[in-house]
Amino acid sequence: MQRIYSTMIFNSLFKAAVIAMIAGLAVPIAADEQARVWNHDDPDLTWGPCPEFFPEGCRIGVLNGDPAQPNADIFFKLPANTEAPEHTHTSAERMVLVSGEMTVNYRGQDPVTLTAGSYAYGPPELPHSASCSDAGPCVLFIAFEQPVDAMPSHSP
């Protein structure tokens, strides 16, 4: 019975999608949109400042989207031997460490050390801090679902 019900839901959703496409309601892909490729050390990448409560030398590079709107992608750079203080974000974060070695501390969980290529997920509003080791600057790719923000967290 569960399989029949699941099949009915899938068929209904598929039909709705086809009708929307036929009716022209589907969002078209912009004909002039170009593919982009960025490297964390690309000289053409523009780096801006982090929020004031982050350490000196912290930088953000916008890779795709508008940080004031949903679904922006950024590089977050933290100098070696520095710490990002405990903070929160409105959005969930999907992250991949691109370079360096970073320890992330999510409140209520054991610290985790990320190395280049490590993936991490951070739920929205969960206080966390991060420290970059002496292995060189840490560059973290972050995909945000909501506009990019960071607020200092308050102790429980």
CATH code: domain of residue 68:
2.60.120.10
Query: Residue 25 pLDDT > 60, yes or no?
Result: no
Residue 56 lies in a domain: yes
pLDDT above 70 coverage of the chain, percent:
79
Residue 88 lies in a domain: yes
Half-sphere exposure of 152 (CA within 13 A, CB side): 8
Q: Is 94 exposed, middle or buried (0-12, 13-18, 19+ CB in 10 A)?
A: middle
Residue 57 lies in a domain: yes
Q: What are phi and psi of 57, to 5 degrees?
A: 95, -10
- pLDDT higher for 24 or 99? 99
Residue 72 lies in a domain: yes
User: Out of 1-10, 28-37, 42-51, 60-69, which region has the weakest mean confidence (pLDDT)?
Assistant: 1-10
Query: Residue 125 pLDDT > 70, yes or no?
Result: yes
Query: In which domain, by residue range, is 119 found?
Result: 47-152
- pLDDT higher for 70 or 154? 70
pLDDT the model gives residue 15: 42
Residue 10 lies in a domain: no
Question: Across residues 76-88, what is the average pLDDT?
Answer: 96
Q: How confident is the model at residue 30 (pLDDT cuts 50, 70, 90)?
A: low
Residue 116 lies in a domain: yes
pTM (whole model) above 0.95: no
Q: In what order do the strands lie in the sheet with 93-99?
A: 47-49, 59-64, 73-78, 138-144, 93-99, 119-122
Residue 24 lies in a domain: no
Q: How confident is the model at residue 156 (pLDDT cuts 50, 70, 90)?
A: low
CA gap 73, 66 in Å, rounded: 8
Residue 65 lies in a domain: yes
> Domains in the chain: how many in total?
1
